[in-house]
């Protein structure tokens, strides 16, 4: 009798040993997976913070690329490991059976529930690290917004002629003021507002025309000085410089896409893809006889943009 009991206990130990070994092996796998997920999220946080610091310090493209790769790669690694080890992937089919549970099943459920409580506590830390990694990456992504610069506001609709708040002289590329007589024999001259020769939106065409043939648009009757009229040099199609003047037909031609504008009729487009006239600049003369702009262009210069036509 004693011998049979000893044999039963021995058999029980032999049967339970593989099960405990499998459980310990599964726990070790889970522990390694959890550490790997945590390491991925921590790596992502470090990469995102480093990306923000590098950008604030002036930026360096290669290091920004490396830190961005770490930030994104860490999140990707953590998600991949989480999906591989912690998400159910098996389809389980179980036959319907009696709903009453045996004492052994209740005990097994209690044990599994208590073990799951500990697992959920550990996974909660991983979830927090994951949120931290995503938050750090989102914070780092906000810094490049500074590179967009300030909001344009009315910056696309106002040039130096209108922003100065006072009449500005028109000058040539060497900052010399221009008189109406300077166009004699040239028919065309490029000018800029005084003090703003390098402004990309300010180049202006001064054209010598026949005053008798000129047809000013309503409200612009006083925008011409003698036989001199001024238009923006930037084509209203894509902003190319309009620099070809066919004097016998009084037409301005854009060499980029052949948009053609009628100088005598408000620089309206008569050919090509441009859909808007060249904005006109109101002219006057100061006490010394130099040409001045009495206001800004009649409309936004250059090609169209998203809110063209709004005041």
Show which residues are catalytic: 237, 257
With vertex at residue 158, the alpha carbon angle to CA 238 and CA 166, rounded to the nearest 5 degrees, is: 140
Q: CA 47, CA 27: separation in Å to the nearest integer? A: 30
At 26, list the tokens.
């599964």
User: Do 237 and 227 touch, CB atoms closer than 8 A?
Assistant: no
Residue 177: count other Cβ atoms within 10 Å of its Cβ.
17
Segments in the chain forming alpha helices (H): 2-56, 61-85, 103-142, 160-163
C-alpha separations of 160 from 27, 291, 293, 294 in Å: 72, 15, 10, 12
Dist. CA 260–CA 128, nearest whole Å: 63
How distant, in Å, are the alpha carbons of 50, 195, 296 from that of 177? 53, 11, 18
The torsion region of residue 270 among left (phi > 0), alpha (psi -120 to 50) and beta comes to alpha
Alpha-carbon distance of 187 to 125, in angstroms, equals 77
Residue 246 bridge partners (DSSP): 251
Q: Both tokens of residue 66?
A: 């490396």
């Amino acid at each position: 009798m004693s011998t049979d009991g000893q044999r039963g206990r021995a058999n029980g130990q032999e049967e339970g040993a593989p099960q405990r070994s499998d459980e310990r092996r599964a726990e070790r796998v889970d522990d390694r997976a959890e550490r790997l997920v945590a390491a991925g999220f921590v790596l992502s946080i470090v990469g995102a913070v480093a990306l923000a610091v590098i950008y604030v310090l002036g930026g360096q493209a290669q290091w920004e690329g490396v830190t961005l790769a770490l930030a994104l790669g860490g999140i990707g690694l953590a998600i991949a490991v989480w999906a591989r080890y912690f998400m159910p992937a098996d389809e389980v089919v179980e036959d319907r059976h009696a709903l009453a549970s045996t004492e052994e099943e209740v005990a097994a459920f209690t044990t599994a529930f208590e073990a799951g409580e500990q697992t959920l506590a550990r996974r909660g830390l991983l979830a927090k690290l994951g949120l931290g990694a995503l938050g750090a990456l989102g914070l780092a992504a906000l810094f490049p917004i500074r590179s967009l610069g300030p909001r344009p506001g009315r910056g696309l609709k106002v040039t130096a002629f209108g922003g100065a708040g006072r009449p500005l002289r028109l000058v040539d590329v060497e900052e010399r003021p221009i008189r109406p007589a300077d166009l004699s024999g040239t028919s065309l001259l490029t000018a800029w507002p005084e003090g703003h020769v390098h402004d990309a939106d300010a180049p202006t065409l001064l054209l010598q025309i026949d005053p008798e043939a000129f047809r000013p648009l309503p409200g612009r009757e006083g925008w011409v000085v003698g036989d001199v009229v001024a238009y923006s040099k930037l084509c209203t199609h894509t902003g190319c410089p309009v620099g070809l003047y066919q004097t016998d037909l009084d037409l301005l031609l854009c060499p980029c896409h052949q948009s053609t504008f009628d100088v005598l009729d408000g620089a309206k487009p008569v050919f090509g893809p441009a859909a808007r006239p060249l904005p006109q600049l109101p002219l006057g003369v100061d006490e010394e006889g130099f040409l001045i702009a009495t206001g800004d262009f009649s409309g936004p210069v250059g090609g169209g943009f998203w809110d063209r036509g709004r005041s």
